[in-house]
Amino acid sequence: MSTMSPVSLTTENDIAIITIDHPPINATSHAVRLGIWDAIDQVNRDDAIRAAILICAGSTFIAGADVTEFGKPPIDPILPDLILKLEQSTKPLIAALHGNALGGGLEVALGCHYRIATATAKLGLPEVNLGLIPGAGGTVRLPRLIAVENAITMITGGKPFNTTTAHDFGLIDEIVDGDLRTAAIALAERIKNTPCPVALIDRAPVNAPDADAWDALIAGIGKKARGQDAPVIAARTIRAAVTGDARTALGLERENFIRLRDSDQSKALRHIFFAERSVAKLPELAGVAPRTIAEIGVIGGGIMGAGIATAALLAGYAVVMIERDDDACERGIANVRHHLGGSLKRGIITQSRHDQLLGDLVSSTDYATLADCDLVIEAVFEDMAVKHDVFAKLSAHCKSDAVLASNTSYLDIDAIATACTHPERVIGLHFFSPAHVMKLLEVVRTRLASPATLATALAFARRLGKIAVPCGVCDGFIGNRIMSAYRKHCEYMLEDGSLPSDIDRAMTNFGFPMGLFAMQDMAGLEISWATRKRLAPTRDPNERYVALGDYLCEMGRFGRKNGLGWYRYDEHGKASPDPVIDELVIAESAKKGIKRRPFSDAEIIETILSAMQAEGEKILAEGIAHSPDAIDVVMVNGYGFPRHKGGPMHLKKTA
């Protein structure tokens, strides 16, 4: 091993400790692979060594591949060969895991004879999230260690598991409470004189499903994947690995891995993965310190306010919620309690944490309660007069350097800011519903916003675990503006010959979780109706206007909430096309003298994409978004654009 190697070998009596120290994530870079290779040679050569431990320095075990090696020709030793070598070691190997043991990291651990992990470690094979499958034996070895069905869940779902689940599955031998290294040495002492367990590659699969069960499993995965190839190919690769010879299966896995790596879907998924990680990094903010935030104010405890308060509580902030009267205060608290109850039920928080978080929330009608807040987020009715009134009170009662944010969907935040004292601290924080769940957050820079205000908002977003997308002030910012643009074209298609269910079907076939009209029904139709009424006086009379959405609201059809919208909903909330709507649409075409014609799915999607891309170009030209990546991140994370297609701007670039 060279002195520069990120891998070192030390001994503790007759136990070798192989330490990987390759910050930040101990990725399986070439130097790491080579270092482990040499260390294993040394362990097997040295008669004084009876067992070896593979452990990492820093905050994590090997957390994945080295992304800088992506797309470059592989240099020996490649990871699959290294793992075969680990497996063939004549001295028992123990993988000691902490932090994230993901992707190639977990595959390395599968090459070892024993695995132990700290209680907080996460284990997973997340390759499908990048349109890939494990490429170093994961599909072959995992179903020979844990039940095939669990291996399928882990590989096709791509979600990491905690150590409790990993232990239940049999993926790890021990959960370590104290010091990992000490526990690994203790285990090594216990097993050093016993023969190596049979390598996973030579074991039989655990509880393999029969042929019928396989067909059903793969069909289910295909349905859930909504057009994404990797989960289905992963399942088929596991099936081949379980039903056939394991060593042959390694070759097939590699072939499938390479095929997927070069696919459009993987390129799109990698594009969005990197875009999400770079979109909030603004060069002009280098060296600008965010303000310290401890206490958050939220104005309004309705749908958004309660979600925002929940998100802030979960991130560890104390929250003051302001409402109009005592009843509304109680409703606001009940809304937050409901959300936190959901987090408790899903195992995201414990009962004691739940109770503590509720204790961190106070509700009041008195704006003076906001005196200590460092950041206040307004989420009251979408009405300019109400917003102005609220911001006047915030100007009067908050600290002069408290950041004041609005969650408005469409209103002009510049106008709100200029009416405030210290307008440089006003910003837009446009959350998506449900705010404690949805990852996207548009951070809207007002004209006068100071760099410190923006840096504070971005730091707050990061602490909430959000994907923050900086954008400028305009009607609808990035996402709602693009949605308005393509909605218009969908409405044109209604008048020209489509029905809502035609457009929605084309969209779901393309990979959206739901179509535009189903989504509108879910969000409620009256907010956009109010916006249309607000904009009516400034509407260009020469521009084509589709009034169908207005008719629905006039008919009292507000969407899913009252069982009638573009669709009708049964008592279980199941949607079905409504002949009343079809007749309304067809009658409107007749009224306007439009001869209806059929639209194919491809034509519908082409129309939608062109509308998104054209509006995206305008948004870029106006500087509302700083890059096409920002637009893709918004559309994928807030508007259901299929992730494996990379976003509308990515599709335009690669068309």
**Which residues bind to ligand NAI, rule: CB under 6 A?**
299-305, 322-324, 328, 379-382, 386, 389-390, 407-409, 431-433, 523
Instruction: State both tokens at 247.
Output: 């060593």
Whichever of 328 and 552 has its CB closer to ligand NAI, that residue is: 328
What's the rounded Cα separation, in Å, for the pair 220 and 176?
A: 36
In the 8-state DSSP scheme, what is residue 146? S
- In single-letter form, the type of residue at position 593 comes to G
Residue positions annotated with a catalytic role: 430
Any residues with CB less than 8 A from the CB of 643 and at least 6 apart, and which? 228, 268, 269, 272, 636
What's the rounded Cα separation, in Å, for the pair 238 and 52?
A: 30
Q: Are 134 and 157 in contact (CB under 8 A)?
A: no
Instruction: State both tokens at 166.
Output: 């990993």
Any residues with CB less than 8 A from the CB of 500 and at least 6 apart, and which? 494, 515, 517, 566, 567, 577, 581, 585
What's the rounded Cα separation, in Å, for the pair 239 and 86?
A: 24
Q: Are 300 and 331 in contact (CB under 8 A)?
A: no
Helix (H) or strand (E) holding 460: helix 451-463
* Among 92, 63, 79, 55, CA closest to 138: 79
Helix (H) or strand (E) holding 319: strand 318-322
* CA 573 from centroid of its chain's CA atoms: 26
* Among 274, 313, 226, CA closest to 509: 226
Kindly list the strands in the beta sheet with 174-176, ordered across the sheet, starting from the edge strand earlier in the chain. 7-12, 15-20, 51-56, 93-97, 114-118, 174-176
Say whether the peptide bond before residue 642 is cis (omega within 30 degrees of 0).
no
Cα-atom radius of gyration of the chain, to the nearest Å?
28
- Whether the CA torsion 452, 457, 458, 462 is positive or negative: it is positive
- In single-letter form, the type of residue at position 356 comes to Q
| 3-state DSSP of 164-220 | HHHHHHCCCCEEECCCHHHHHHHHHHHHCCCCCCCCHHHCCCECCCCHHHHHHHHHH
What's the rounded Cα separation, in Å, for the pair 109 and 86?
A: 9
CB of 408 to ligand NAI, least distance (A): 4
Instruction: State both tokens at 586.
Output: 């067809």
Tell me how far CA of residue 540 lies from CA of 267, 411, 537, 543, 619, in angstroms.
Answer: 41, 19, 9, 5, 20
Whichever of 322 and 340 has its CB closer to ligand NAI, that residue is: 322
Cross-strand partners of 471: 444
Three-state DSSP state, 325 = coil
* Among 65, 37, 50, 215, CA closest to 125: 65
Whichever of 290 and 638 has its CB closer to ligand NAI, that residue is: 638
Q: Are 97 and 121 in contact (CB under 8 A)?
A: yes
